[in-house]
């Protein structure tokens, strides 16, 4: 017991000593006499000085063409979801569903999101809509920048349970454009 108390006291003393040392000003060596700093100012075309002026960041080149997706409702395909999930916060039981992309845009607050690349997808059974969820559209010209897993084959689909079992990803490949839906496992 005495060893434990001594070890604890020693640990506190070391911790406190480090804090005290960190709060002391650093010792510096005397510097050579300071020379007055010269302001490096450029003259603009109008003859005005730009020293200390704020400049906007340089425009970065595009790495791909403009991202676009069809604005029409598109049938994405049929998938079998192996376990109960939630779509838009509502229960979506395990089963086989026809999935279609709607024309309704999903408005998000994500910075940098491209308009038109997040829309609603409907899960249908027997011709009736039984659930809906946001689908993220990845245009064919950007897929190589985003996708790390093997995409489904052209015209195909893939259902994957993601690490930790929290989400199920349903994705479709239509002519190289990928459509990803993430469902919360329930």
pLDDT digits (tens, 9 = 90+) for 57-109: 777 665 555 555 666 778 999 999 999 999 999 999 999 999 999 988 887 65
Summarize pLDDT for 122-175 with one digit per residue, the tens.
999 999 999 999 998 888 888 888 778 888 999 999 999 988 889 999 999 998
* pLDDT at residue 7, as a whole number: 53
How many C-alpha atoms does 78 have within 13 Å on its Cβ side? 5
Helix (H), strand (E) at residue 144: helix 143-146
DSSP state of 162: P
| Closest by Cα among 106, 133, 108 to 122 | 133
Where are the domains positioned within the chain?
A: 74-185
As a whole number of angstroms, the longest Cα–Cα distance in the chain is 86
Please say whether the dihedral angle defined by the alpha carbons of residues 65, 68, 70 and 74, taken in this order, is positive or negative. positive
CA-CA distance, 85 to 183, in Å (whole number)?
6
pLDDT of residue 151: 87
Higher per-residue pLDDT: 117 or 68: 117
Quickly list H helices, the chain. 2-23, 143-146
Q: Check: CB of residue 103 under 8 Å from CB of residue 119.
A: yes
| Per-residue pLDDT at 145 | 81
DSSP 66: -
What pLDDT shows up at residue 52? 62
Report helix, strand or coil for 80. strand
Torsion sign (Cα): 175, 179, 180, 181: negative
Q: What integer pLDDT is reported at residue 148 of this predicted model? A: 82
The answer to whether the beta carbons of residues 116 and 71 sit under 8 Å apart is yes
Alpha carbon of residue 30 to chain centroid: 50
Neighbours of 149 (CB within 10 A): 9
């Amino acid at each position: 017991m005495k060893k434990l108390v001594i070890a604890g006291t020693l640990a506190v003393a070391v911790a406190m000593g480090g804090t005290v040392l960190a709060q002391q000003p650093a010792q510096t060596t005397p510097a050579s006499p300071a020379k007055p700093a010269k302001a490096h100012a450029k003259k603009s075309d109008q003859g005005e000085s730009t020293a200390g002026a704020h400049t906007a960041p340089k425009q970065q080149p595009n790495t791909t063409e403009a991202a676009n997706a069809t604005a029409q409702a598109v049938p994405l395909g049929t998938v079998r979801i192996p376990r109960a999930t939630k779509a838009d916060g509502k229960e979506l039981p395990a089963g086989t569903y026809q999935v279609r992309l709607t024309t309704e845009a999903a408005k998000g607050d994500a910075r940098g999101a491209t308009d038109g690349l997040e829309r609603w997808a409907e899960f249908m059974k027997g011709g009736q809509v039984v659930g809906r969820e946001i689908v993220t559209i990845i245009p064919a010209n950007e897929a190589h920048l985003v996708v790390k897993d093997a995409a489904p084959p052209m015209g195909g689909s893939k259902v994957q349970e993601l690490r930790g079992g929290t989400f199920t990803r349903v994705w479709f490949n239509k002519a190289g454009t990928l459509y990803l839906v993430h469902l919360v496992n329930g």
